[in-house]
Amino acid sequence: MTDALGLLRADLHVHSYHSGYASHMRFLRTRDCYSNPEDIYRVAKARGMDLVTITDHDSIDGCLEFLDRHPDAADFFISEEVECAIPDLPVKVHVGVYGLTEQIHRDLQPLRGNVCDVAACLRERGLCFALNHLFFFYRRDVPLERYLRALVPLFPAFELQNGAMLRCHNELIGDVVARARKDDLFGATGGSDAHTLRRIGTTYTEARGANWREFLENVRDGRSRVAGAHGTAGSVAVEIYGVVAKYWATLAGFGRPDLSWPRRIVGGVCTIASIPVQFLPLLIATVQKRSEARTVEACRRTIVPARPVVPMIREMDRP
């Protein structure tokens, strides 16, 4: 990376405290992530990211919190991860949206029931947006060709490297999208999908630009590349343990004042009762990754040629 050539790096998939609550055992009010926006920025910069953003689930509050404290931060831009439904298919998808405004965020919320409407809104405004972890929510009882036909034409960019997904998953996305789009160029995004500070900046996107706007334009137009780590059962388990440890800290009164005393007491009792099964996150991560590997292998056998397809992404130096 050389500043003289205008090559910039950004982790385009990072979560903060504002990503909401975990879906399991909701009565405990365990957050999906406990990272502070200030700490996210600090760690990302320390790990070589030239630009920083936060992609919380259906929220830009983390970005706004940072910009409220640093209104002149020229290397920070607003993003989010929008959860959408696919018409007539029982599958949800996550869309990474980059460089948006508060008004665009508000405009997107009533459209989330139809990913086609979300994509049309973003295209009309000329934003950079990408389909994240293509096969993460995919269910094998849904016809794969139908699933891909519904999604691939909608997006100018695709997350080709997610730091929480297996290497075979990330590689399959590039192969499948290249096969579906043929000679139609597409952008590539990469991000750590970090829910703790530990993995921020370990997977990232590179593109040229004098600022974040030019960077995102090049990503959208297919002049980007991805690099960094892929996910494993071990790395995902460490993330889960990290979130659990932060939850324990909130029970002890550290961090943000998030829980009332009654909830802290209930959480503390449940935590003590669960001590004998503290190995569970590693087991969960192992099971998840084995399931992910089986899904990826089944999809590859279904539609991808034996010979890998080279993703049609513009070289960054090409006009």
Tens of pLDDT, residues 164-200: 999 999 999 999 998 888 778 899 999 999 999 999 9
Contacts of residue 176, defined as CB under 8 A and 6 or more positions apart, other chains included, come to 134, 148, 152, 299, 303, 304
CA–CA distance, 85 with 239 (Å, rounded to integer): 27
Query: Average pLDDT for residues 297-302, to the nearest whole number?
Result: 90
Q: Give the domain range for residue 83.
A: 8-245+277-303
Measuring CA to CA, how many Å separate 297 from each of 16, 159, 247?
Answer: 32, 19, 35
Measuring CA to CA, how many Å separate 97 from each of 194, 230, 313?
Answer: 17, 22, 19
Query: Average pLDDT for residues 10-22, to the nearest whole number?
Result: 89
Task: Please give the structure tokens belonging to residue 261.
Answer: 């005393």
CA–CA distance, 63 with 78 (Å, rounded to integer): 6
CA–CA distance, 113 with 315 (Å, rounded to integer): 35
With CA atoms as reference, report the closest residue to 34 among 179, 250, 205, 189: 250
CA–CA distance, 189 with 160 (Å, rounded to integer): 6
For position 157, which CATH number holds?
A: 3.20.20.140
Residue 141 lies in a domain: yes
**CB-facing half-sphere around the CA of 268: CA atoms within 13 A:** 12
Reported pTM: 0.86
Residue 169 lies in a domain: yes
Residue 96 lies in a domain: yes
Condensed to tens digits (0 to 9), the pLDDT of residues 264-289 reads 555 555 555 455 555 566 788 889 99
CA angle in degrees (0–180, nearest 5) for 254-256-258: 105
CA–CA distance, 248 with 268 (Å, rounded to integer): 8
Cα first-last separation, the chain: 20
Q: Is the pLDDT of residue 50 over 90?
A: yes
Residue 72 lies in a domain: yes
Residue 1 lies in a domain: no
One-letter identity of residue 191:
G
Measuring CA to CA, how many Å separate 81 from each of 55, 128, 185?
Answer: 5, 12, 23
Which position has the higher pLDDT, 151 or 243?
Answer: 151
With CA atoms as reference, report the closest residue to 219 among 8, 3, 2: 8
Residue 61 lies in a domain: yes
CA–CA distance, 190 with 202 (Å, rounded to integer): 10
Query: Average pLDDT for residues 238-253, to the nearest whole number?
Result: 72
- Which range, of 79-88, 128-137, 214-223, 262-271, averages the lowest pLDDT? 262-271
Condensed to tens digits (0 to 9), the pLDDT of residues 112-122 reads 999 999 999 99
For 7, the 3-state DSSP assignment is strand
Task: Identify the band that residue 262 occupies on the pLDDT scale cut at 50, 70 and 90.
Answer: low
91 neighbors 142 (Cβ within 8 angstroms):
yes
Residue 265 lies in a domain: no
Three-state SS string across 296-309, please?
A: HHHHHHHHCCCCCC
Element (H, E) at 124: helix 115-124
Domain count, the chain: 1
Determine the pLDDT at residue 232. 93
* 72 burial via Cβ count (<10 Å: 0-12, 13-18, 19+): exposed
Q: Is the pLDDT of residue 40 over 60?
A: yes
Residue 23 lies in a domain: yes
Task: Identify the band that residue 1 occupies on the pLDDT scale cut at 50, 70 and 90.
Answer: very low
